[in-house]
Structure 1
Amino acid sequence: MTKQGVSRRQMIGGSAAVMGAMSGAPKALGETSPQAPAPGALEGKTILITGTASGFGRLGAEHYARLGARVFATMRNLPRPEAEELVQLASDEDLSIEVVEIDVMSDESVAAGVATVLERTGGTLDVLINNAGIGLGGPMEVQDMEATKLLFETNVFGPHRMARAVLPAMRAAGKGQIFQVSSQLGRVIVPGLGHYSPTKFALEALSEGMAYELAAHGIEVTIIQPGGYPTKIWEKSTARAAALKARTPQELLDAYPEMTAGMGEPSSGGGSTDPMDIPRAIAEIIAMPRGTRPLRRPVHPGNKPQETINEVSRETQLAMLGGSPWAPAVKDVLD
């Protein structure tokens, strides 16, 4: 028993309940899902998305193209069936979707892929959507450096590489929009989920700092905070957790029995929510007038526990920097 009289098993059970509430909670009374703009609302926009092999990225590539955008759908390890399927769909529906190879963990791949996109657009890009991301559960102590580096390379360094690659073109144009796909868990923490929250917390800070710094260049940053959705991230996370468990000494696994017993076992995370909520929210924000787009957008039909933290953070930033030389940029981003 802990000092508060709660067992470790009860603590883990509580964590599971929290995750269930975050991923499968019913829609709040009167709450509506993100609404997509009218057909053609994204006409003329050029959009680059990372991680389009599945999940939010794949759905988004189709959705933005159907709204009239020219979409550069990126993924790694080409050729692959997912790329061929997307190319075929674009041909069948006469959509402007071009597949470009980018591995966000590689400086060389990011530089080459972005250069290809800019060559095809004549040097301009309206929107970058940093969607590529991974999960890998298990206690913090069990997360070896291989697992730790993999998560930070993908979820933090990857978006930073991509932003640095596209920003010169956006600065030259004096406009642009960067979306960072974070998570509810970039603001709140559930035990036993490894470095997922630390990477998303880092992405949140990186993105907000960048938003202040880019305001003078006319470039906007929006952080998307999804709750749980049934995408392949759960399946892929399970496989990574199984590999991590297999290389972890048994005595370390035994130190956290409740958290490690299920590592590598199939998960039905995400509940029955609709993953299209994310592309709809992003498309809605892209279609908004410049200067009105939000810094953060929580997206989920159920509970959004990060909303209170978002508001407290906003008030704190304004109080801290509202009288500083940064005040115009901070107020531009937060007001």
Structure 2
Amino acid sequence: MPDRNRPARRDLIAGAAALAATAPTLLHAAAPTALPSLTGRTVLITGTSSGFGRIGALHYARLGAKVIATMRNLPRPEADTLAAEAAKEKLDLHIVEIDVTSDDSVAAGTASALEAAGGRIDTLINNAGVGISGPIEVQDMEATHLAFNTNVIGMQRMIRALLPQMRAARAGQIVNISSQLGRVIVPGGGHYSATKFAVEALSEQLAYELVPHGIEVTIIQPGGYPTRVWQNRNVYTGALKERSDPERLAAYEPFTRGMGTEDGSGRSADPADVPRAIAEIMAMPAGTRPLRRAVHPGPKPQEAINRVAAEVQVAWLGGSPLGPLIRAVHD
């Protein structure tokens, strides 16, 4: 069976570095289409109870993919309504319980997902995440552990669980949801930027290391969208404020005044922008997909940083023994 996901360009360059790679014909990106086809692709996405995850699960399935939509705390109404919508449209969508903060849940859930997928997940979309706002000093250890365990360590759990079967296939794709705030910082944002900066670094390093294995990594950097992330964040932020030392809260006015009350109002961009961008990237020929994609109709301040960071990486390591890996990702 042909390996439709092998990134030929990267294998060529990695081979120059004496890394185990092959050198088939170079593939070129096709012109983007309004509705790319994902037929034949199996996609696993975390955090599908709402927002980008739920919209994406349905979007990829409508484009022909077999979708493994995961969420925690099953059974729950969000799973029932997602399943009902998929059944109504006769979509190939399967719901599996995965709590990315739990080793056991990730192990059991990914095993079930691989069984449902016939042993092969082509694309992993790490979408699950939380936000807890407030000044850094106000972030207690409970909030700190939750933010990093979900946004960073949870992603690592999923990567470790699914990479072995991708490496065996010498093909695959990992899409990690970061944020504008993975490159720029807003005071009072809690550990959200810290976790997303970590996601950016983890993802880029992984992209270099996976070149010889024919697996690609893309980082999605959304701006602000009107999803349930705001309401969910308020639950965690409100609880943090309730248990915080009044003296610490008072020390950081006005950042602490609105903790737990943000509603995302004023944001009117279409959250479907993000799944549409991911689907477009999935449909690109392997070896042509970008490392990063900023997604928002408004300002994208991170793009300047993305450009400079790529230039620095190539200038610093492009001529070293690691150069073929670096250039394979950035060329």
Instruction: Tell me whether the two structures share a fold, i.e. TM-score over 0.5.
Output: yes
C-alpha displacement of 1:124: 1.0
Correspondence for 1:284 among 275, 280, 285: 280
Write out per-residue CA displacement over residues 169-217 of structure 1, whole angstroms, 9 at most, x where no aligned residue. Answer: 0000000000000000000001000100000000000000000000110
Q: Distance in 1 between matches of 2:124 and 2:171?
A: 12
Correspondence for 2:305 among 291, 309, 324: 309
Matched, 1:324 2:309: no
Q: Distance in 2 between matches of 1:36 and 1:322?
A: 30
Q: Distance in 2 between matches of 1:173 and 1:274?
A: 36
Write out per-residue CA displacement over residues 136-157 of structure 1, whole angstroms, 9 at most, x where no aligned residue. Answer: 1000000000000000000000
Match for residue 183 of structure 1?
179
Q: Distance in 2 between matches of 1:238 and 1:118?
A: 34
Do the aligned partners of 1:224 and 1:298 also contact (CA within 8 Å) in 2?
yes
Matched, 1:115 2:117: no
Opposite residue 204 of structure 2, the aligned amino acid is: E
Matched, 1:99 2:95: yes
Do the aligned partners of 1:40 and 1:68 also contact (CA within 8 Å) in 2?
no
Do the aligned partners of 1:175 and 1:217 also contact (CA within 8 Å) in 2?
yes
User: Secondary structure, in 3 states, of the residue corresponding to 1:262?
Assistant: coil
Correspondence for 1:241 among 237, 240, 243: 237
Superposition pairs for residues 152-163 of structure 1, below 5 Å?
152-163=148-159
Using the TM superposition, name which of 40-49 and 263-272 deviates more.
263-272
Correspondence for 1:222 among 218, 222, 229: 218
Correspondence for 1:67 among 58, 63, 78: 63
User: Secondary structure, in 3 states, of the residue corresponding to 2:48?
Assistant: coil
Do the aligned partners of 1:36 and 1:281 also contact (CA within 8 Å) in 2?
no
Match for residue 294 of structure 2?
298
Q: Distance in 2 between matches of 1:94 and 1:37?
A: 24
Opposite residue 62 of structure 1, the aligned amino acid is: L
Structure 2 unaligned blocks of 5 or more:
1-30
Matched, 1:124 2:85: no
Match for residue 50 of structure 1?
46
Distance 1:277 1:200, change over 3 A: same
Q: Distance in 1 between matches of 2:196 and 2:85?
A: 32
User: Secondary structure, in 3 states, of the residue corresponding to 2:49?
Assistant: coil
Q: Distance in 2 between matches of 1:171 and 1:284?
A: 23
Do the aligned partners of 2:36 and 2:283 also contact (CA within 8 Å) in 1?
no
Do the aligned partners of 1:229 and 1:269 also contact (CA within 8 Å) in 2?
no
TM-score by length of 2: 0.89
User: Secondary structure, in 3 states, of the residue corresponding to 1:142?
Assistant: coil
Match for residue 6 of structure 1?
none
C-alpha displacement of 1:37: 4.5
Q: Distance in 2 between matches of 1:36 and 1:135?
A: 33
4+ long deviations beyond 2 Å: 35-40, 266-270
Match for residue 141 of structure 1?
137
What is the aligned-residue RMSD (CA, Å)?
Answer: 1.3
C-alpha displacement of 1:122: 2.5
Write out per-residue CA displacement over residues 277-320 of structure 1, whole angstroms, 9 at most, x where no aligned residue. Answer: 00000000000000000000000000000000000000000011
Using the TM superposition, name which of 227-236 and 265-274 deviates more.
265-274
Match for residue 262 of structure 1?
258
Do the aligned partners of 1:37 and 1:287 also contact (CA within 8 Å) in 2?
no
Matched, 1:82 2:84: no
User: Secondary structure, in 3 states, of the residue corresponding to 2:210?
Assistant: helix
Q: Percent identity?
A: 64
Do the aligned partners of 1:37 and 1:283 also contact (CA within 8 Å) in 2?
no
Q: Distance in 2 between matches of 1:120 and 1:267?
A: 37
Correspondence for 1:193 among 189, 194, 210: 189
C-alpha displacement of 1:121: 2.2
User: Secondary structure, in 3 states, of the residue corresponding to 1:328?
Assistant: helix
Opposite residue 90 of structure 1, the aligned amino acid is: A
Write out per-residue CA displacement over residues 47-93 of structure 1, whole angstroms, 9 at most, x where no aligned residue. Answer: 00000000000000000000000000000000001111111111100
